[in-house]
Amino acid sequence: MKTYKQILLEQKPLFLYILLIYAIAGTAVVFRKPLHGIFGEENYVTIHLVIEIFVAFCSLAIANQIWLSSKFKQNSKIIYTGALFLAMGILGITHAISYKGMPFFINESDSYAAGWFYMTSRLLFPAGLLAILVIKEKQISTAKRVMAYAGSFLFSVFIAIIVYWPSRLLPELIEEGGVTVLKSNLQTLAFILTVLLIVLLIKQIRIWPRFFIFMIAASLNLLCSDVMFVSYADVYDIYNFTGHIFQFSAYWLVYKSFYFFTVEQPFIALMNSNKSLEQKERKIKQLAYYDEGTTLPNERFLRETLNEQLLQTDSRKALIVFGVDRYEGVKNALGTVYADRMLEMIAQRVKEQLPPGYLLYKLPEDRFAVFIAQYETEQTVQQLIQKLQQTMDETLVIEHFTVSSALNIGVSRYPADTKSAEDLVQFAQFAAYEAAKKDDRIAFYTASMQEARAARLMLEHDLKRAVEQCELFVEYQPQLDLHSGTIHSAEALVRWRHPEKGLIAPLDFIPVAEESGLIIPIGKWVLETACAETVMWQNKHKKTMTVAVNLSIGQLYEKDFPLFVKQTLDRTGLEPSHLQLEITESMTVNTNLIIPVLQELKNLGVTIAVDDFGTGYSSLSYLKDFPIDCLKIDRSFIRSILENPDDEALVRMILSMAKHLNLKVVAEGIETAEQLDYLLKNGCDKIQGYFISRPIPYEAFEAEYPAIQQFADEQLKN
């Protein structure tokens, strides 16, 4: 809230104006004697008339302005003020024309009529404004607006009739030698009312500081005029003239304040609202054509550019669309803020690499586009692709995490692939999608890609049905404990028997499930089934069996996931220590979010394993902060353990570090006796792989268990 000082300081011009008025008044007081009679009888009437015309003009102008500006918005206080000033304006005119020395009008002009017209008007000012300040503000009808003005007009006519009535109905106000006691008293009453008005105005100053300050200044001027009007010796006294100057000045200030209120201020408000409207329009346009995060032109911009360009020339053109590898992973693990940051960094790098004349567009999700408006040979396209790929040579550092990423680049060509802008965009996106599966991460659009995309959508549709109609089942892959030589754990792996397509591998449908959110119901079902079947198996064999269940990141983010695990254990009767949950290495990136969930799970008594270890981002050193029990070395390292010294070194390092960190190690994908031998010698805790057993349905796991164990015994003996 503004202080009084601030409010006053904002009105410097007003103070200069008031200073000027007081300088005039001061001069008049000091030089009262020599100035007495300066205008003389002859000139005095004209000078008075001029001043009064100004006063009346101000009043009528206020009335008029309020009348015009209240056409659409009829606020009671404003309308009544207008009506008040209409009456004061009319009384001002009658005062001027009836003034002593003016030509004959209805009767001989003398100070009787002029005095009463003045006095009525002078009393109306504070009394009327006081009343208006205290009444309640409300909206009034058009009819009331007319009635207020008409009433005010009739009131002035009524006063005129009384004053001009042939036999004088009212006492005299001015006599030979000065004002009467009645005039002095009425002037004092006006003075007191004006002081009251000033107090009320000061109280409300904060509502419209400028308006009220002007009104206060005007009222003060009127007070000064009162002092002058009771002190003059005769009408030729300079005090009378100064009183009129104060009076005029007061009305001028009131006029200014209403001008501000009814014209200037609404105009400024209109200007401001226009300005903000313009800003909003600009913003809407910005939003419509530019991406908010990267500020790059967006897909709509691209489509419109393509539509224009394709029409212009028939030269060969190409559209490159690229997606960002690992974007989903970063988004899931670190959250959208960091994922967006990743996109911004990539956008910046690509912009720096693009040759002049090329524009980078941002498409939805993690995709970008570059349009080649004309090219002669494929080499131009290839060179640009190379440049794009180079932008990812250096790893990205996002919030202390170093992420190596790549661009999956798809290209569609005009007119070879299509002549429509719409298709050009879509085809390049299909190609980018396919590029993700290729080693060089580049794909030029071919007709089959459209089918691949359609097939994927179809798969998602079918998967939904699969969940509902129990087309899923779980297979178990035994794990051999190398210390005891027994099989007392197995990994549960989900399978999908599609009614038409037959068995579908998890690697083909788990990503679809993750993207579509179907992983949540699927994950729940697998956990429930694995726990229940393990209990069944234990009861049958009278042996303990631990089951390892794979988790997807979406499940860990699910609210109350640990609670669900607990309820599942309770429902199925599986001992918590007989359940191992497998998370993947990439899930360990978002420490803040994941650690508390893992901790809660561990508190239940289940164990946690990190699956596919060695393929993701994490380093062993910070795994020590994670509440985990076990590492599963990815089968890609085991595969070439005996041929590739790098892989061999890595596996050996994982084994020794795991020992230091007190973690168990499971080696995945053991397919040969040599691999088993190596792991046995190097102190690996458990192995899992086709060599011992493929994943098998529950019934087979029950029936074949003794045989599998026997095979393992034989292998370990050799």
Q: Give the footprint of Mg ion on this chain (CB under 5 A).
A: 550, 582, 611-612, 668
Burial 683-712 (b: 16+ CB within 10 A, else e): ebbbbbbebbbebbebeebeeebeebbebb
CB atoms within 10 A of CB 664: 19
Helix (H, G, I), strand (E, B) or coil at 324: strand
Q: Please work out, in degrees rounded to the nearest 5, the angle formed at the alpha carbon of residue 432 by the alpha carbons of 426 and 438.
A: 145
Using rule CB under 6 A, residue 510 touches ligand C2E: yes
The one among 506, 511, 521, 683 contacting ligand C2E by CB under 6 A? 506
Where does this chain touch ligand C2E (CB under 6 A) — which range of 18-26, 272-280, 340-348, 667-675?
667-675
In contact, 329 and 393? CB cutoff 8 Å: no
Question: Of 229, 414, 427, which Cα lies nearest the Cα of 306?
Answer: 414
Supply the DSSP symbol for 689. S
Residue 668 Cβ vs ligand C2E, minimum distance, rounded to whole Å: 6
Please enumerate in sequence order all residues whose Cβ is within 8 A of that of 586, keeping only pairs 6 or more positions apart, or say none. Answer: 329, 332, 333, 553, 616, 617
Nearer CB in complex with ligand C2E: 83/670: 670
Report the alpha-carbon distance of residue 700 to residue 575 in Å, rounded: 23
Nearer CB in complex with ligand C2E: 397/503: 503
In contact, 219 and 194? CB cutoff 8 Å: yes
Residue 616 Cβ vs Mg ion, minimum distance, rounded to whole Å: 11
Query: CB under 5 to 8 A by kind: which of ligand C2E, Mg ion, none does 115 bind?
Result: none
The one among 181, 507, 619, 714 contacting ligand C2E by CB under 6 A? 507
**How big is the chain, counted in residues?**
718
Whether the ω angle into residue 415 lies within 30 degrees of 0, i.e. cis, is: yes
Question: Of 447, 550, 407, which Cα lies nearest the Cα of 492?
Answer: 550
Number of residues that bind ligand C2E (CB under 6 A): 24
Residue 583 exposure: Cα atoms within 13 Å on the Cβ side: 28
Using rule CB under 6 A, residue 460 touches ligand C2E: no
Residue type at 653 in one-letter notation: M
Within residues 574-593, the interface with ligand C2E by CB under 6 A covers: 582
Report the alpha-carbon distance of residue 62 to residue 562 in Å, rounded: 75
The one among 152, 225, 534, 550 contacting ligand C2E by CB under 6 A? 550
Residue 334 Cβ vs ligand C2E, minimum distance, rounded to whole Å: 20
Query: CB under 5 to 8 A by kind: which of ligand C2E, Mg ion, none does 158 bind?
Result: none
Pairing state between β 407-414 and 368-372: unpaired
Nearer CB in complex with ligand C2E: 369/526: 526
Residue 597 Cβ vs ligand C2E, minimum distance, rounded to whole Å: 15
Residue 399 Cβ vs ligand C2E, minimum distance, rounded to whole Å: 26
Residue 630 Cβ vs Mg ion, minimum distance, rounded to whole Å: 11
Residue 394 Cβ vs Mg ion, minimum distance, rounded to whole Å: 29
Where does this chain touch ligand C2E (CB under 6 A) — which range of 89-97, 244-252, 302-310, 503-511?
503-511
Residue 487 Cβ vs ligand C2E, minimum distance, rounded to whole Å: 14
In contact, 341 and 398? CB cutoff 8 Å: yes
Using rule CB under 6 A, residue 675 touches ligand C2E: no
Q: Phi and psi of 691, rounded to 5°?
A: -60, -40
Residue 490 Cβ vs ligand C2E, minimum distance, rounded to whole Å: 11
Torsion angle, CA of 109/112/115/119, rounded to 10 degrees? Answer: -140
Residue 631 Cβ vs Mg ion, minimum distance, rounded to whole Å: 11
Where does this chain touch ligand C2E (CB under 6 A) — which range of 55-63, 151-159, 500-508, 678-686?
500-508
Beta-bridge mates of residue 178: 175
Query: CB under 5 to 8 A by kind: which of ligand C2E, Mg ion, none does 507 bind?
Result: ligand C2E
Nearer CB in complex with ligand C2E: 340/671: 671
Using rule CB under 6 A, residue 690 touches ligand C2E: yes
Report the alpha-carbon distance of residue 390 to residue 160 in Å, rounded: 95
Using rule CB under 6 A, residue 526 touches ligand C2E: yes
Where does this chain touch ligand C2E (CB under 6 A) — which range of 73-81, 230-238, 294-302, 550-558?
550-558
Residue 572 Cβ vs ligand C2E, minimum distance, rounded to whole Å: 16
Query: CB under 5 to 8 A by kind: which of Mg ion, ligand C2E, none does 506 bind?
Result: ligand C2E
In contact, 191 and 246? CB cutoff 8 Å: no
The one among 210, 244, 367, 635 contacting ligand C2E by CB under 6 A? 635
Residue 684 Cβ vs ligand C2E, minimum distance, rounded to whole Å: 14
Residue 398 exposure: Cα atoms within 13 Å on the Cβ side: 27
Nearer CB in complex with Mg ion: 207/507: 507
Where does this chain touch ligand C2E (CB under 6 A) — which range of 347-355, 364-372, 461-469, 684-692?
684-692
Residue 701 Cβ vs ligand C2E, minimum distance, rounded to whole Å: 14
What is the full DSSP assignment across 4-21?
A: HHHHHHTTHHHHHHHHHH
Using rule CB under 6 A, residue 194 touches ligand C2E: no
Query: CB under 5 to 8 A by kind: which of Mg ion, ligand C2E, none does 689 bind?
Result: ligand C2E
In contact, 428 and 412? CB cutoff 8 Å: yes
Residue 374 exposure: Cα atoms within 13 Å on the Cβ side: 7
Binding mask 594-633 for ligand C2E (x = CB under 6 A): -----------------xx---------------------
In contact, 323 and 438? CB cutoff 8 Å: no
Nearer CB in complex with ligand C2E: 347/574: 574
| Distances 486 to 479, 483, 714 between C-alpha atoms, Å | 9, 8, 12
Q: Phi and psi of 413, rounded to 5°?
A: -120, 145
Residue type at 466 in one-letter notation: A
Q: Please work out, in degrees rounded to the nearest 5, the angle formed at the alpha carbon of residue 700 by the alpha carbons of 694 and 701.
A: 70
Residue 328 Cβ vs Mg ion, minimum distance, rounded to whole Å: 19
Residue type at 253 in one-letter notation: L
Query: CB under 5 to 8 A by kind: which of Mg ion, ligand C2E, none does 128 bind?
Result: none
Using rule CB under 6 A, residue 493 touches ligand C2E: yes
Q: Please work out, in degrees rounded to the nearest 5, the angle formed at the alpha carbon of residue 435 by the alpha carbons of 430 and 439.
A: 165
Nearer CB in complex with ligand C2E: 215/670: 670
The one among 695, 698, 701, 708 contacting ligand C2E by CB under 6 A? 695
Within residues 302-361, the interface with ligand C2E by CB under 6 A covers: none
Where does this chain touch ligand C2E (CB under 6 A) — which range of 346-354, 385-393, 504-512, 623-631?
504-512
The one among 520, 569, 669, 676 contacting ligand C2E by CB under 6 A? 669
Q: Phi and psi of 400, rounded to 5°?
A: 70, -10
Nearer CB in complex with ligand C2E: 165/690: 690
Nearer CB in complex with Mg ion: 434/582: 582
Query: CB under 5 to 8 A by kind: which of Mg ion, ligand C2E, none does 316 bind?
Result: none
Beta-bridge mates of residue 414: 317
Report the alpha-carbon distance of residue 650 to residue 669 in Å, rounded: 16
Nearer CB in complex with ligand C2E: 413/635: 635
Record the tokens describing residue 25, joined without a space: 């008044």
Cα 49 to chain centroid distance, Å, stands at 63
Q: Which residue has the tokens 């001989």?
A: 108
Q: Phi and psi of 287, rounded to 5°?
A: -65, -35
Residue 326 Cβ vs Mg ion, minimum distance, rounded to whole Å: 18
Residue 704 Cβ vs ligand C2E, minimum distance, rounded to whole Å: 16
| Residues binding ligand C2E (CB under 6 A) | 477, 493-494, 505-507, 510, 523, 526, 550-552, 582, 611-612, 635, 668-671, 688-690, 695
